[in-house]
Amino acid sequence: MSSYYGIEIDMLNLGDADSILVSKWDAGGVTRILIDGGYRKDAETVQNFLDSMGILHIDHLVCTHIHDDHAGGLVELVEGRRFSIGNAWMHIPTNHVDGARVQNSLSRAKAAGLKRAMYVEASLKTVHDLQFALLKRGIFPVEPFLFDQIGFMKVCSPSRELYEEKLLQFANFDEFTKSAMLLEKQDLGINISDGVRSAFNLEPDLLDSPITDPENEASIVLGTEFNGSTILLTADAGVEAFGIATANFDLTNLTFMQIPHHGSRRNITKSLINYFSPKCAFVSAAGNVKHPRRAVINAFKEAGSLVYSTHYPSPGSHKWRFFGSVPPRGNYTDSIYLYDAS
């Protein structure tokens, strides 16, 4: 029997991709939740980490949303059968919208030259591959929505209504086109702004009303508490998702928070950052001009957060944070928080 009582969070160093292992220890042993698996190419890194920790069983496998940088690696990991899985949690688009309608809409969008249609189509295939890989192992995934419990973690978003609203955009050509054009317009504005500000050595500002694409907005947001510490894992969620989360849970003055979408400016506002005011914030990022954005990092720092990134210090490393009593790791050292002069 384990004598440990605590929670540990491992955010793996995969560049602009996510894989997070959350483990809860108590007198009866340990419960492990693996959240996302990066790209398909990242599966080996994730598996090597699990092997190094001697982990042969995952109690809860979670795919936060359909994008390849979160779901792709899970396909490889499930197919690899190197660990057993207790429960799997993911959204299944075909449970909510007619696949033929979606395919027709995306085909029309591709014919109209919308590159986003190919991206969405590839993502839908990835999530289908993951569902099929799980079913081949006799594992029937469950769809998680607001207030559902995944082990020791609570689903803070999306609601079923938000998920279906976002998903239906794929099946409606006009809605998909409108959404794609708004995203392109925002990205163009961001890039022009960055270019102008770079010329004058200025930092780009946070957006007042960022637009997050439907797939990211439907990300599974997870929260938990331990001995007065509140933990929030955000995947690639955006302002609408956080509106649902903050309306239903007290998420002020967090102890630990994942910065959404690798530190992008498209997912969070200054007012939300000030609301969360996490003592500690982690981000998975490649460390380039877009991820993580300095404006995002600076806003968290101004809110009193210590910010850590998987890319820093170079060449980066897996990040580990724990609360309470957990098994020691002799090969881990104190990390340096982001943009520390030292």
CA proximity to 213, closest of 148, 166, 269, 265: 166
pLDDT tens-digit map of 165-204 = 999 999 998 887 888 777 677 766 566 555 545 544 455 6
* CB 66, CB 124: distance < 8 Å: yes
The domain ranges of the chain are 5-312
Task: Determine the topology of domain 5-312 in CATH.
Answer: Metallo-beta-lactamase; Chain A (3.60.15)
Confidence of residue 137 (pLDDT cuts 50, 70, 90): very high
CA 47 – CA 40 distance, rounded (Å): 12
pLDDT at 18: 98
CA 187 – CA 183 distance, rounded (Å): 6
pLDDT tens-digit map of 252-306 = 999 999 999 999 999 999 999 999 999 999 999 999 888 999 999 999 999 999 9
pLDDT tens-digit map of 197-255 = 554 445 567 888 888 899 999 999 999 999 999 999 999 999 999 999 999 999 999 99
Q: Residue 327 is which amino acid?
A: P
pLDDT, mean of residues 71-93: 98
